[in-house]
Amino acid sequence: MTAAHPGYLVNPRDLDLADPNLRLFDATVYLMSAESGYRAESGAAKYAERHIPGANFLDLIKAFSDTSTGLGFSLPGPVALQNAFQNAGVNDDSQVVFYSLSHMMWATRAWWLAYYAGHTDIAVLNGGLARWQSEGGEITTSSPHYPVGNFTVTPNPPRFVNAEQVSSAIDELRTCTLNALSPAVYEGSGDMHYGRRGHIPGSINLFYDELLDEGSFRPIDELRDALAGRGVPEAERIIAYSSFTFVGLLNKASDRKHFF
């Protein structure tokens, strides 16, 4: 069985660092426990210590979030998002690849932002920096800078939903609301939480680590089985929240997939 959208993932051996159109970004973020739930810590310092040659750092906490909401990782407006991508050096014809040093979810978060913004040549480096190094890829401390890009954002609003839309979908049988955090966070137990314990009523839990094997996405057959075990493929619409999952990789009807 093959992926419906194989271009959404790129393996280290297939990443062409010599391609002048390549825009490669480390999107690493670390989540640390705090009294109010958690705090987000930038991966910029770790990026400076080691990264893939030619990669720049993508600041998901500030540059690629609306920091005026009082909530972490809020979706920026179209103008702010366009400015952020252009300042990062992204062009309309760039091949944009994201990876992370920490969890894969940060690379997929960056991917979703670019997807929402309308870029069509975007991918996640499968396995991130750890797999890159394990397969013999070079690392560096040199920090290049891409020139300002010309990417024009064409937002696709249905890719994100708001709280009102989520609330109205709770009792919709055609909608699957998917929480991809750990079972402990989903249940409201354990030390880690996001301000309020528990989950959205009616949402199902599919822990994102179940989709990974040593930091890389599992084979397509295993991913399909994991989703099928939660009834995801039968849903007409999927709302994923508190997670940066990559369900669009699997389904040709990706216009039905939503990210919140």
User: Does residue 148 or residue 196 have the better pLDDT?
Assistant: 148
Q: Structural domain tally of the chain?
A: 2
* The predicted structure's pLDDT at residue 2: 67
* The predicted structure's pLDDT at residue 245: 57
| Residue finishing a domain among 132, 156, 180 | 156
152 in the same domain as 168: no
pLDDT (tens digit per residue) in 204-215: 898 988 889 999
Average pLDDT over residues 135-153: 95
- Quote the percentage of the chain above a pLDDT of 90: 52
Say whether pLDDT at 259 is over 50: no
- Those residues whose C-beta lies under 8 Å from the C-beta of residue 174, and which sit 6 or more positions away, are 235, 236, 237
Say whether pLDDT at 1 is over 70: no
Average pLDDT over residues 46-60: 97
Three-state SS at 63: coil
Say whether pLDDT at 146 is over 90: yes
222 in the same domain as 255: yes
- Those residues whose C-beta lies under 8 Å from the C-beta of residue 185, and which sit 6 or more positions away, are 192, 193, 194, 242
Say whether pLDDT at 228 is over 90: no
Say whether pLDDT at 103 is over 80: yes
* The predicted structure's pLDDT at residue 252: 41
Indicate which CATH number applies to the domain containing 243: 3.40.250.10
Say whether pLDDT at 250 is over 90: no
CB 11 within 8 A of CB 126: yes
* The predicted structure's pLDDT at residue 36: 65
196 in the same domain as 177: yes
Poorest-confidence range of 53-57, 106-110, 157-161? Answer: 157-161
127 in the same domain as 195: no
CB atoms under 10 Å from CB of 120, counted, come to 11
pLDDT (tens digit per residue) in 185-201: 889 887 777 677 888 89
* The predicted structure's pLDDT at residue 10: 96
Residue 1 lies in a domain: no
| Residue finishing a domain among 90, 123, 156 | 156
pLDDT (tens digit per residue) in 163-192: 888 888 888 888 888 888 889 888 988 777
* The predicted structure's pLDDT at residue 70: 83
Distance CA 51, CA 239 (A): 33
Say whether pLDDT at 254 is over 50: no
99 in the same domain as 185: no
190 in the same domain as 138: no
233 in the same domain as 166: yes
* The predicted structure's pLDDT at residue 43: 97
* The predicted structure's pLDDT at residue 9: 94
User: Does residue 155 or residue 251 have the better pLDDT?
Assistant: 155
144 in the same domain as 199: no
Average pLDDT over residues 61-83: 92
- Report the chain's mean pLDDT, rounded to a whole number: 87
Domain that holds residue 152: 6-156
